[in-house]
Homo-oligomer: A and B are copies of this chain.
Amino acid sequence: MGNHSNLIAYCIDNMQFWNMKTHPNISSQSIREARERIDHLVHRTPVLHSEAINELAGCELFFKCENFQKVGAFKARGAANAVLKLSKEERAKGVATHSSGNHAAALARAAKVARIPAYIVMPANAPDVKKRAVKGYGGIIIECEPNLLAREQGLKNVVDKYGATFIPPYNHLDVIEGQATCALELFDAGYSLDVLIAPVGGGGLLAGTALATGFYSPHTKVIGAEPEGADDARRSFVAGYWIPIEKPNSIADGLLTSLGEINFDIISNKVEDILTVDDSQIIAAMRIIYERMKIVIEPSSAVSLAIVLKNKSLFEGKKVGVILSGGNVDLSKLPF
């Protein structure tokens, strides 16, 4: 992938593969089955609203609170679904991933409940709090040098040695299917939305949200919310081909990863638009949610409200669903 035309060829090749693969595999029925499958592992999170924020935004907002989800983020859904879809033989050998974020904790927890080992490859310099979260759920941490090559080699070693199944954080159909259960709950609870907004980093949540919305509420438009400093999804969406990000930079630390390939395919087909905001707008929206709704969210969760407040005319008078992706934030480093 040294130059652009190679990259495009690579993407097009893979898109055909994904097109074949995704559409038959995730259906209205399969998302419902996923919801049943993970029922003992995740919360049906509440939907909150605030008259004060509605007044401020000029529309009616419904916040789906994945900050109250197990492990503090929507990631619990996808990881649980992927683990529970493994065969008996696969389960016996365990699961593996390389991540230091919410997915690592989510996978460790899903594996713990399924009583199988979870091997988490993590850079040796990862923050202690993240290592503790994984260990707290019984995950086995494999430390590696802090670079992508070492992480991938570390993962390969674990997979080779134990025969563990690699569960990636977003570029995986079972993970996307799991994340789709979040929007399913919204529609099952009877919310009739004009628009549904989800943040986009790797694209697992946005892809799942777009698929579920297409099945259960086809009149609802899905919009992706992205930080300006990590706008590869926006740029890929506009260009029509996958453009990975090089040096992402945003306070929304959960959204710094490049869009996954499968995710890009689904998103480019099913999402209405991807909009961006800068960090000062994200911080302002985050503060509004803390002050008016009295809930703790991570910066990534605030991107969607920031988009609504930046583009008021676009949402005026509409019923707008917003997925708050998680609440894992370092409280000693709040940006206000």
Q: Is the CB of B336 within 8 A of A332?
A: yes
Within 8 A of B (CB), among A295-317: 295-297
| A294 and B301 alpha carbons, distance in the complex (Å) | 13
A297 cross-chain contacts in B, Cβ below 8 A: 294
CB distance from A63 to the nearest CB of B (A): 12
| A294 and B293 alpha carbons, distance in the complex (Å) | 11
Q: How many copies make up the complex?
A: 2
Q: Is the CB of B296 within 8 A of A331?
A: no
**A291 CB within 8 Å of chain B:** yes
**A68 CB within 8 Å of chain B:** yes
A332 cross-chain contacts in B, Cβ below 8 A: 336
**A46 CB within 8 Å of chain B:** yes
Interface size class of A (residues with CB under 8 A): 10 to 19
A336 cross-chain contacts in B, Cβ below 8 A: 331-332
Q: Is the CB of B294 within 8 A of A327?
A: yes
**A75 CB within 8 Å of chain B:** no
| A336 and B331 alpha carbons, distance in the complex (Å) | 7
Given contacts A331-B336, A334-B331, A334-B334, contact A290 B294 (CB under 8 A): no
**A287 CB within 8 Å of chain B:** yes
**A209 CB within 8 Å of chain B:** no
- Kindly report which residue of chain B lies nearest to residue A72, judged by CB atoms: B294
| A46 and B46 alpha carbons, distance in the complex (Å) | 10
Within 8 A of B (CB), among A322-336: 327, 331-332, 334, 336
| A291 and B332 alpha carbons, distance in the complex (Å) | 11
- Kindly report which residue of chain B lies nearest to residue A52, judged by CB atoms: B136
Within 8 A of B (CB), among A49-73: 67-68, 72
Within 8 A of B (CB), among A186-201: none
| A46 and B295 alpha carbons, distance in the complex (Å) | 13
A72 cross-chain contacts in B, Cβ below 8 A: 294
Q: Is the CB of A291 within 8 A of B331?
A: yes
A-B contact pairs, 10 of them (CB 8 A): A46-B46, A72-B294, A287-B331, A290-B331, A291-B296, A294-B296, A295-B296, A296-B296, A332-B336, A334-B334
11 new A-B contacts at CB < 8 Å, known A72-B294, A294-B327: A46-B46, A68-B294, A291-B296, A291-B331, A294-B295, A294-B297, A295-B295, A295-B296, A296-B296, A331-B334, A334-B334
